[in-house]
Amino acid sequence: MATTYTAKDITVLEGLDPVRKRPGMYIGGVGSSGLHHLVWEIVDNSVDEAMNGHATEINVTLHKDKQSVTVSDNGRGIPVDLHPIHKKSALEIVYSTLHAGGKFEGDNYKTSGGLHGVGASVVNALSSKVQVTVRRDGAEWQMEFSRGVVTSKLKKLGAAKGSGTTVFFRPDPTVFPKTDFNSDTIRERLEIASYLHRGVKVNFTDEATGKKDVFFHQDGILDYLKKILAQAHFKPAHEVPFVLNKDGELRLEIVFQWTEATEEVVKSYVNGIPTGSGGTHENGLRAGVAKAVRNYIETHNLAPRGVSLTAEDIREGWAAVLSVFVAEPQFQGQTKDRLNNPEVQSLVDAAVRPVLEQWLNSNRTVAEQIVARIILSARAREASRAASNAVSRKSATGGRLTLPGKLADCLTHNRENTELFIVEGDSAGGSAKQGRDRNTQAILPLRGKVLNTEGMSVGKVIENKELADLVTALGCGIGANFELAKLRYQRVVLLADADSDGHHITTLLLTFLYRHLPELIRQERVFIAMPPLYRIDLGKETYWAADDADRDRLLKEKQKGNTKADITRFKGLGEMMAKTLWDTTLNPRTRRMLRVSIADALETDRIVSELMGKDPAARFNFIMNRADDVGVGDLDV
Ligand code: 0RA
């Protein structure tokens, strides 16, 4: 049962002048982050009320002017009775004195985060207006402040049902250079809060757009993990995620699951505040997980022969959400988003290790799936190291003996202006080999469909002969062994038929490059060749058309009087004469190519993962139709 908690429990320390003198000390600064901090403080107070079991719903409204916010909850309402000594209401004390708050009194009040009970007064000090409305004991009360000073005494508005607290505030424009709130920033933070505080319903209204959001997650951070994996199209490598909720010296919540992806994803929070740069809580989690997994592998004699498991192997494809609640968090780093409390590391480690070991031992199927996933990472690492060693051995000896047999390399030893054409199919490869400039252009024919590598580990990728050959031909290694300086060509050009199968292959290759050799795309080394689909003979003139629209446009433009048009549709690159391929597609003086670039890495990432999970045929259309969005631009080379 909750302890009775009234005005007498509040300790009063000092007035609000210090806050107005040095706002940065309390909210980190007066920029956008500090401005939004005010919202988090007020929301945290309502979250605390909910976490203590007294409120179920929080409403946040960003008003039309974007300069003011209202936060309300259906909790007990801030007490309005008079403090026996100070003769002031708890409401007034909480809002107009620094370090006032029951949170200082220990067990009575668990902190969700923020400024340790001083939040309300800090917001008040830095706001040109604060209006607090409380419903409790059958009545509604209201009080107003400005810049930390009472402007309207506590008054009873009348009878009212239920209970709760509503806080309206408008940040002081003489403190903040810019007082516009960002709706997305608030929305994202509230959504996260709804995951970190299971069962609390958080409503957000943006009056400027009329948009309303409801965030509610009965399963808390487990729902969050599921959302992260679904959004990234990361396939779980085992059935049930690991879940740990612990109260005690350190309150923490942990969920994690291994996936087929190569990335490690960890989202961590301290008192509901995101810690993007990790810190001691994350380190403790990683250490605890690594030790538990190693112990399990050892106890059950599951260690693979010939490879040793590294910490990176254990972390490959690992997706985790970690939320800890720390009484006195110390943040570090340039953006103050790394937890620095040393004691937290061993507390998290000690909390997770035995429970995970126990869990692995009593969920043997899942445990085996996890161990298999980790061994796969180790093997992949070994394989890619071997592949890259092979490449460097070759370049060290200057020999080309280990290059794939089907690669028709270029002759020049100077990398400048060299190009590797990755060509679909052997017969097309044949035309390309004949039609190319042997000095600077190399041809690597690929057989048939390329693997869809989305979500695949480096090891899996290397097991595929076609892709392994491609990596060897490129010479730059892959994954942890990637080295741009070793790339054997200046440009990498994807050359496929102008039809939908060809487009599909191009998309699969782009996915592979984007996911596993992203630096090549970032450095804009990757191009898409544009072979013609039609040959149009008009009298003595010959034209080439890339697609149907191009054909129609050319006919309209060039066909005069009743000249007969002779139109040939190429079935594939293979049936094109070598000379034709040179004239239309390979010759740097006459050809057109698309340069692939990343306009917005995050957006591209989302798009790639979305596309590669869906209908293959639709994918290339997307890339072509939305060329601007993914940054594939026209380029004449
Ligand atoms: C102290 C005591 C009590 C409620 C609160 C604080 C309280 C603060 C906030 C801030 C936002 N929403 C809030 N809701 C409640 C309750 C004392 C009692 O009724 O026993």
Q: CA dihedral in degrees (361, 362, 368, 371; nearest 10)?
A: -40
Q: Which of 60, 71, 68 is nearest to 35 (CA)?
A: 68
Task: Tell whether 555 and 577 lie within a shared domain.
Answer: no
Task: Tell whether 271 and 282 lie within a shared domain.
Answer: yes
Residue 437, domain CATH: 3.40.50.670
Task: Tell whether 103 and 147 lie within a shared domain.
Answer: yes
DSSP of 365-396, one letter per residue?
HHHHHHHHHHHHHHHHHHHHHHHHHHHHHHHH
Which is the catalytic residue, given 144, 172, 424, 550? 424
Residue 45, domain CATH: 3.30.565.10
pLDDT of residue 504: 81
The number of distinct structural domains making up the chain is 4
Task: Tell whether 509 and 539 lie within a shared domain.
Answer: no
Q: How many angstroms does the Cα of residue 455 sit away from the middle of ligand 1?
A: 48
Could you tell me the sign of the dihedral formed by the alpha carbons of 169, 170, 174, 178, in that order? positive
Task: Tell whether 28 and 76 lie within a shared domain.
Answer: yes
Whether 206 is covered by a domain: the verdict is: yes
Residues 6+ apart with CB under 8 A from 158: 139, 140
Residues 121-134: pLDDT tens digits? 999 999 999 999 99
Residue 234, domain CATH: 3.30.230.10
Burial of 453: CB neighbours in 10 Å, binned 0-12, 13-18, 19+: buried
Residue 127 · residue 146 · CB < 8 Å: yes
- Report which protein residue has its CA nearest ligand 1's atom 3: 78
| Whole-structure pTM value | 0.63
Whether 44 is covered by a domain: the verdict is: yes
Whether 472 is covered by a domain: the verdict is: yes
Residue 423 · residue 431 · CB < 8 Å: no
Q: Letter for the amino acid at 553? A: R
Whether 126 is covered by a domain: the verdict is: yes
pLDDT of residue 608: 60
pLDDT of residue 84: 80
Q: Letter for the amino acid at 472? A: T
How far from each other are the two terminal CA atoms of the chain, in whole angstroms? Answer: 75
Q: Which two tokens stand for residue 163?
A: 């209970």
Task: Tell whether 425 and 360 lie within a shared domain.
Answer: no
- Report which protein residue has its CA nearest ligand 1's atom 10: 45
Task: Tell whether 195 and 287 lie within a shared domain.
Answer: no
Whether 401 is covered by a domain: the verdict is: no
Which is the catalytic residue, given 207, 264, 337, 501? 501
Task: Tell whether 373 and 311 lie within a shared domain.
Answer: yes
DSSP of 60-81, one letter per residue?
EEE-TTSS-EEEEE-SS----S
Angstrom CA distances, 213 to 60, 146, 216, stand at 10, 30, 10
Residues 537-577: pLDDT tens digits? 998 888 999 888 889 999 998 888 888 899 999 888 888 89
Task: Tell whether 494 and 607 lie within a shared domain.
Answer: yes
Q: How many angstroms does the Cα of residue 6 sit away from the middle of ligand 1?
A: 9
User: Which domain covers residue 92, as residue numbers?
Assistant: 17-215
CA distance 270 to 338: 9
pLDDT of residue 3: 44
Task: Tell whether 508 and 612 lie within a shared domain.
Answer: yes
Whether 11 is covered by a domain: the verdict is: no
Q: Letter for the amino acid at 494? A: L
Residue 193 · residue 271 · CB < 8 Å: no
Last residue of a domain, one of 336, 370, 387: 387
pLDDT of residue 388: 58
pLDDT of residue 420: 97
Last residue of a domain, one of 387, 408, 432: 387
Residue 82 · residue 107 · CB < 8 Å: no
Report residue 253: phi and psi, to 5°.
Answer: -130, 130
Whether 408 is covered by a domain: the verdict is: no
- Choose the residue to mutate in 3, 5, 118 for probing ligand 1, maximizing ligand atoms within 8 Å of C-beta: 5
Whether 578 is covered by a domain: the verdict is: yes
Which is the catalytic residue, given 49, 206, 313, 497? 497
Task: Tell whether 559 and 575 lie within a shared domain.
Answer: no
- Choose the residue to mutate in 51, 71, 78 for probing ligand 1, maximizing ligand atoms within 8 Å of C-beta: 78
Angstrom CA distances, 350 to 222, 251, 291, 353, stand at 21, 13, 10, 6
Residues 6+ apart with CB under 8 A from 242: 254, 255, 256, 257, 356, 359
What b/e sequence results for 540-553 when a residue is b if at least 16 CB atoms lie within 10 Å of its CB, and e otherwise? eeebbbbeeebbee
In short, whether 497's Cβ falls inside 6 Å of ligand 1 is: no
Q: How many angstroms does the Cα of residue 251 sit away from the middle of ligand 1?
A: 22
Active-site residue flag, 206: no
Task: Tell whether 428 and 460 lie within a shared domain.
Answer: yes
In short, whether 1's Cβ falls inside 6 Å of ligand 1 is: no
Q: Which residues of the chain, if any, have pLDDT below 50?
A: 1-3, 5, 7-12, 100-116, 393-394, 396-401, 614-637
